[in-house]
Every structure is written in C-alpha cells, then in structure tokens.
Amino acid sequence: MNRSSTKPNVLFVVLDQLRADVLNGALAETVDLPNLRAFMDDAVTFTNHVTVTCPCGPARASLLTGQYAMNHRAVRNGTPLPLDKPNLATELRRGGIQPLLYGYTDTSADPRHHAADDPILTSYEQVMNGFLEALEMRFDDGRSWRGYLNELGYNVPNCDVPERDAIYIPAGDRPTAPALYSAEHSDTAFLTDRFLADLPTRADGWCAHVTYIRPHPPFVAPAPYNSMYDPAAMMPA
C-alpha cells in the first residue's frame, strides 16, 4: 500500500451563524432539520464547541489557527491575518495533503506581502493562506453563483455595481417574501452541487473545507423555506 492510499478523506463543514440550540437545546424539537441530522449521525459532530470571538473573520481565524484573537491578531473583519501564522491548511500541506476550500474564510491579506495598490487589499473576503480555492463563494465579491443564476435566466446584477445587493432582497413587498431564486438554485444548493460534482475528480487523500453562509443574514430564503415557520409560534430567543 503506497503512502497516498493511507490518507483519509476529510470533509470539514461549517455553517455560519446557526444557533447551537437548534441542534441540541430548546429549539431542537421546533426546527426541522432531517438532512442535517442524518449527516450528523454519520459524521463527527462537535457538540461542545464554542467560538472564542466574533464576528466572522476573527472567528474563522481562531477556528482555523487554534488561537485566541489576541494571539492571531485578526480581531475584526478587515484586520489582516499574518501570512506566517500556521493554520489548518498550512499544517495539512506539511503532511502532503492539499486543503480544498469550497466557500470562504473571510481572511484579510497581510499587506506586508503585497504592493500598496494591490486589489487584494480592498476586500476582507480573501482566502486564508494554504487553501486552494476550489469554488469561490464570497458574499460581497462573489461571481460564481451570480454567473450561474444569470445563465439560468435570472436577472442578477454583478458584484461591481451598487445594486449588487438586490440578490439578497426578498422578491416582494414583505420581509417574509421569497427570494428571487428557487430553492434548487440557492447559494446553499449551488455550493453543495458543485462540491459533489467536483469530488470524483479528486484523488483519495483530500481534505475539503465546505463553508455555508446560511443562516447568516440577510434573512431571505427561497420558497417554501421563507414561510415554513410562523414567527408568532416561535419561542422567545
């Protein structure tokens, strides 16, 4: 057996801003998550994991470096993470594994390694050092999903115009109106489908970090999910 055949395949999934008590706690019996629960039953689930900081960029920096924010120093969205800071991806590479990223890490580039006018410094939605961006799913600057929707006939503005946020606005006059896209074309479905389609092209020994933006705001969902629960029937937060 050669060395590569002994390496396991690792799928590391992160959901953004999913309340812990939806999975294990007061809301577990209220929110219906059959697919996620089935996946959890067949996977390793961290039920006693608590993030050490927020918001998203610092939290992901802590998750992927194993350090407190005061140590990795990326204390807010837009604060650079030092390029030489070891993280999950760089350590996997030391072991001969290429870390794949399907989604985002919200990492701000270290300006000490870029020219002052480098466009990479204009956005906090960059990729953490060491990861290979197999699918780009950036929230503000994302192009892959927008392009996919336009190919399907949706009228979606690109991310270079002021109207770019229209994709995240309900298609109606109510906050609870459905998204302008169908559930099968949502960012969640797109990410899952692209990951599953790409997987057969990868040799064994892969590590894929798949990161979903949902249920992170803005609070817009395609039908039927936008009306699945009556707000008045929900228990207080």
Nearest Cα to 135, choosing from 213, 64, 205, 63?
Answer: 213
Asked if residue 230 belongs to a domain, the reply is no
Asked if residue 236 belongs to a domain, the reply is no
The CATH number of the domain holding residue 74 is 3.40.720.10
Residues 222, 181: contact at Cβ < 8 Å?
Answer: yes
Choosing from 54, 56, 159, 207, which is the catalytic residue?
56
Asked if residue 232 belongs to a domain, the reply is no
Q: In angstroms, rounded to a whole number, what is the distance separating the alpha carbons of residues 138 and 172?
A: 25
Asked if residue 235 belongs to a domain, the reply is no
Report pLDDT for 160: 82
Report pLDDT for 5: 58
Tell me the residue range of the domain where 117 lies: 7-223
Provide mean pLDDT across the span 138-160. Answer: 91
Q: Is the pTM of this model over 0.85?
A: yes
Q: Is 56 a catalytic residue?
A: yes
Report pLDDT for 1: 33
Q: How far is CA 160 from the centre of its chain?
A: 21
Q: In angstroms, rounded to a whole number, what is the distance separating the alpha carbons of residues 133 and 100?
A: 6
Confidence of residue 26 (pLDDT cuts 50, 70, 90): confident
